[in-house]
């Protein structure tokens, strides 16, 4: 998720300069040269995107920034190449290599994002370019990690053939999805890359999607940012308690417009290039419970964790404790998965609590569904599901619950203290 608008340089490059260059390569170059040029464009484009994301208020230190980002991106690129080598060993070697290939990107993500000694070791270089964390130099690392892990599973399960190096690099560093996803699978990417979408009606809808995304991301989210915690409550002035309620829901709407607006632009721009990208949102605030909500919000992340973590964990627990433990295994796995979701979004106990808050909520929905089905029976449950009043109440409660959880997501402990301090 995004917590603020991306720098203008990032937007201009990702949705103006890159698409023009990509369209020229995909439209006028043929054969193997096209594949390699497109891969090169995405690798170079990823470096430029990493640089553009940091250059907003650091223009006076361009030479040093170029050197720092260049060194970090070289490491980034080499790690992705190592993962490709492991992927090839997976296809041609033993099951052990498959396990190593699957966990290698995750291990790198953990080291770069969550091991404090890395930041302290490079503190002088980071401070010289006004950064505190090494992870800031690795744009989109979390999303790239999950895409590459899923690719390993697709190759291991023979869902796709082993990608060539050029196809692998263009997928790994595909610029539109680099910074905030969606976590679109390789199978979907390569199918549309090899047989691009040419339908004019689809292209028109893709262009409209870009315009809608721009409106949500640049206009609506900027307007709503005035009613978020930082925009409304952290201005050093006392506030009435009603302002906390405004910020509670204001931040939720801001985050939706910010995040879904960017994803709209990504999906639309990719569609204009003929490349199919997975949807990430489907009217999430119409969901009547948290289970429906997470099938509609950040869909690519929910799908990834369902396939890669939740389902295998439930199967393992049922195998260990027996079929009678299935419902408890599901509830435990839900909580475990959502703690991972929380930690994946950011470093700090507040993010873990954000995930746990959702895990407990979803586990409660799971147990409540079991209870209500037993209590009402099949016909009664269908009538319950079709009741519009119950549905409206469920939708309101789900929206409120999600908004409450975002208080942990949006604020550090220091900010939380400041917010409660200014309320009168």
Q: What are the sequence ranges of the domains in the chain?
A: 8-194, 200-273, 285-422
In contact, 268 and 207? CB cutoff 8 Å: yes
Q: pLDDT tens across 202-236, in order?
A: 999 999 999 999 999 999 999 999 999 999 998 88
Indicate the SS3 state at residue 175: helix
234: Cβ contacts below 8 Å, ≥ 6 apart: 415, 418, 419, 422
Rounded to a whole number of angstroms, the CA Rg of the chain reads 23
Dihedrals phi, psi of 273, to nearest 5 degrees: -85, -5
Residues in CB range of 345: below 8 A, 6 or more apart: 1, 351, 354, 355, 409
Residue 408, helix vs strand vs coil: helix
End-to-end CA distance of the chain: give it in Å, rounded.
31
Q: Which two tokens stand for residue 370?
A: 């079991």
What residues have CB less than 8 Å from 308, skipping those under 6 apart? 146, 149, 150, 153
Q: Which residues contact 214 (CB under 8 A, 6 or more apart)?
A: 261, 265
CA dist., res. 117 & res. 179, Å (int): 25
Question: What are the tens digits of pLDDT across the range 269-295?
Answer: 999 999 999 999 999 999 999 999 999
Q: How many CA atoms lie within 13 A of 161 on its CB side?
A: 5
281 strand-pairing partners: 297
Percentage, residues of the chain above pLDDT 90: 74
Residues paired with residue 239 on neighbouring β-strands, in sequence order: 423
Looking at residue 1, its pLDDT comes to: 46
pLDDT at position 267? 96
Token pair for 137: 């130099």
Q: Exposure pattern of 96-126 as b/e (b: 16+ CB <10 Å)?
A: ebbebbbebbeebbeebbeeeebbeebeebb
Res 24 pLDDT > 80: yes
**Model confidence pLDDT, tens digit, residues 96-114:** 888 899 999 999 999 999 8
* pLDDT surpassing 60 at residue 90: yes
**Integer Cα distance of 183 and 171 in angstroms:** 11
Q: Which DSSP string corresponds to 197-256? A: ---HHHHHHHHHHHHHHHIIIIIIHHHHGGGSIIIII-SSS-B-HHHHHHHHHHHHHHHH
Residues in contact with 47: Cβ distance below 8 Å, sequence separation at least 6, in sequence order = 69, 70, 73
- What confidence score (pLDDT) does residue 419 get? 92
Cβ count within 10 A of residue 330: 19
Which one is predicted more confidently, 235 or 405? 405
CA–CA dist 70, 83 (Å, integer): 20
164-203: string of b/e by CB count within 10 Å (b at 16+)? eebbbbbbbbbbbbbbbbbbbbbeebbebbeeeeeeeeeb
């Amino acid at each position: 998720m995004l917590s603020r608008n991306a720098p203008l340089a990032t937007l201009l490059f990702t949705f103006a300069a890159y698409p023009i260059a990509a369209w020229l390569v995909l439209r006028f170059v043929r054969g193997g040269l096209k594949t390699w040029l497109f891969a090169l464009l995405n690798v170079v484009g990823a470096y430029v995107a990493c640089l553009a994301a940091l250059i907003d208020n650091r223009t006076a230190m361009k030479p040093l920034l170029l050197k720092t980002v260049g060194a970090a991106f070289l490491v980034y690129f080499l790690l992705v190449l190592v993962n490709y080598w492991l992927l090839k060993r997976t296809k041609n070697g033993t099951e052990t290599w498959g396990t190593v290939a699957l966990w290698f990107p995750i291990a790198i993500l953990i080291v770069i994002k969550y091991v404090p000694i890395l930041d302290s070791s490079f503190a002088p270089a980071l401070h010289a370019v006004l950064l505190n964390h090494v992870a800031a130099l690795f744009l989109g690392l979390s999303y790239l990690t999950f895409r590459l892990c899923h690719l390993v599973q697709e190759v291991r399960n023979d869902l796709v053939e082993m990608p060539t190096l050029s196809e692998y690099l263009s997928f790994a560093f595909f610029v539109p999805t680099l910074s905030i996803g969606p976590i679109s699978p390789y199978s979907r990417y390569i199918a549309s890359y090899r047989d691009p979408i040419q339908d004019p009606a689809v292209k028109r809808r893709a262009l409209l999607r870009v315009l809608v995304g721009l409106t949500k991301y640049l206009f609506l989210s900027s307007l709503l940012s005035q009613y978020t915690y930082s925009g409304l409550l952290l201005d050093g002035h006392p506030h009435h308690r009603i302002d906390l309620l405004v910020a509670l829901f204001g931040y939720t709407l801001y985050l939706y417009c910010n995040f879904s607006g960017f994803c709209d632009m990504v999906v639309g721009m990719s569609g204009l290039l003929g490349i199919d990208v997975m949807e990430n949102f489907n009217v999430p605030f119409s969901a009547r419970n948290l289970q429906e909500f997470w099938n509609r919000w950040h869909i690519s992340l929910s799908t990834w964790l369902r396939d890669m973590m939740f389902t295998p964990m439930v199967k393992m627990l049922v195998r260990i404790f027996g079929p009678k433990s299935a419902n408890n295994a599901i509830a435990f796995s839900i909580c475990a998965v959502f703690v991972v979701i929380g930690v994946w979004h950011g470093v700090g106990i507040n993010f873990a609590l954000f995930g746990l808050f959702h895990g407990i909520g979803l586990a409660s929905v799971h147990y409540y569904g079991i209870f209500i089905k037993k209590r009402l029976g099949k016909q009664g449950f269908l009538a319950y599901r079709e009741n519009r009043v119950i549905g409206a109440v469920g939708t309101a409660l789900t929206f409120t619950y999600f908004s409450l959880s975002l208080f942990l997501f949006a604020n550090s402990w220091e900010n939380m203290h400041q917010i409660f301090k200014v309320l009168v």
